[in-house]
Amino acid sequence: MTNKKDITYIIVTWNSSDEIITCLDSIKQFSPSNFKVIVVDNCSSDKTAELISNVYPEVKVIASEENLGFAKGNNLALEFVDTEYLCYLNPDVILTEDIVTPSLDKLETDLEIGLVACHLKNPDGSHQASCFNFANSRSLFTEILHVGAFLPKGLRKKFFPNHYQAEKPYYPDWVIGAEMIMRTSEAKQIEGFSTEYFMYTEDMDLCKKIDVILHKKVLYLPHISLIHIGGASEAKNINYNKQKKLFENTFIFVDKFYSKTESQKTHQNMILAYQIRLALLKLLYHKSDREQQINKTFQSLQILQEIN
């Protein structure tokens, strides 16, 4: 029998043996007494599933014979959730305090909230940007040019939340999917993560569905934090294939929730923004990473021009 405040953590793994036990250890240490964990392993070659079962036999492990991707993996676990609440969690996350109790307090007292996310930090304790505005022709044009970095704090909160370090809870458009807490019934109502992306953009899509289907908000709690190991390296190391997939998925998102015309405009504006950025870097930027920034910008521009 489950209690009203019970929660199930859903974790999708792929070759995560180096990090998953630390994640599970932190869940055990900092979670309220009533919790469950479901892990979907995406056909790992490093025996992640066996490791979990050996160390934590109470964890439900679903070992997939194929790599389902992030969305399908999470949705498979969602079918087995019987608690009132769930927490989507990445395997490279380490809890450093109880994130569940304050999140459930918000979900229980405010029915207009559809998802709660806490403050992600890098392993060194520094702030990790995890709040963003939905992708469209305006937001991506200005983001590529880093306009938000030069604006006053009040304007950053509204228009460039990834450049805003909150001190009080607020409502961004969407949050990084490394940690998300929801009512299970509502996660099932919106059919979990959308599967047309396979990887990247699923978290933005989920938050948009909370907006357009549930007519609810995403709440960010800056005073409750956890460590996200991969966030820092992900932001710095974006290879060609990942960058292309991110761009393609962005256009799928804009087409899906806005229009084909807006998707085409977004594509055009992103090309223009990268052209301007490249020119500005060559003309005005003289820091030690100048060549790296120029090369990354040139690669992004090339990828966008290759995408029809």
Segment of 157-166, 237-246, 280-289 carrying the highest mean pLDDT: 280-289
What single-letter amino acid sits at 11? Answer: I
Please return the burial class of 111, using the count of CB atoms within 10 Å of its CB with bins 0-12, 13-18 and 19+: exposed
Cα dist from 231 to 120, 234, 246, whole Å: 9, 5, 15
Predicted local distance difference test score (pLDDT) of residue 149: 84
Q: State the pLDDT at residue 203.
A: 98
Q: Per-residue pLDDT averaged across 135-158, rounded?
A: 91
DSSP secondary structure string for all residues of 262-297: HHHHHHHHHHHHHHHHHHHHHHH--STTHHHHHHHH
pLDDT over 70 at 206, yes or no: yes
Q: Please tell me which residue, 2 or 4, carries the higher pLDDT value.
A: 4
Helical (H) or strand (E) element with 206? helix 202-212
For the segment 33-42, the average pLDDT, to the nearest whole number, is: 94
In terms of Cα–Cα distance, which of 68, 73, 105, 107 is closest to 90? 73
Give the pLDDT mean for 222-237.
Answer: 76
Region for residue 43 given its phi and psi (left: phi exceeds 0; alpha: psi -120 to 50; beta: otherwise): left
- The whole-number average pLDDT for the span 83-97 is 97
User: Which pLDDT does position 4 carry in this prediction?
Assistant: 55
Percent of the chain clearing pLDDT 90 (strictly above) = 87
pTM, to two decimals:
0.94
Q: Residue range 53-64: average pLDDT?
A: 97
On the CB side of 137, how many CA atoms lie within 13 Å of its CA?
14
Q: Which of the two residues, 106 and 152, has the higher pLDDT score?
A: 106
Average pLDDT over residues 186-199: 94
Tally of CB atoms within 10 A around 89: 26
How far, in Å, are 22, 33, 71, 75, 174 from residue 203 at the CA level? Answer: 23, 28, 9, 13, 7
Q: Where are the beta strands (DSSP E) in 23-105?
A: 35-42, 60-64, 85-89, 93-95
Show me where the domains of the chain are located: 7-121+172-225, 240-306
Superfamily classification of domain 7-121+172-225 = Spore Coat Polysaccharide Biosynthesis Protein SpsA; Chain A (3.90.550.10)
pLDDT at residue 33, rounded to an integer: 81
SS3 119: strand
Mean pLDDT of 38-58: 96
Query: What is the average pLDDT score of the chain?
Result: 94
What average pLDDT does this structure show over 125-136? 96
Mean of the pLDDT values across residues 124-136? 96
- CA–CA separation, 89 vs 13, rounded Å? 10
Q: Is the pLDDT of residue 1 over 70?
A: no
Cα–Cα distance, 75 to 102 (Å, whole number): 25
Helix (H, G, I), strand (E, B) or coil at 135: coil
Residue-wise pLDDT tens digits, 275-304: 999 999 999 999 999 999 999 999 999 999
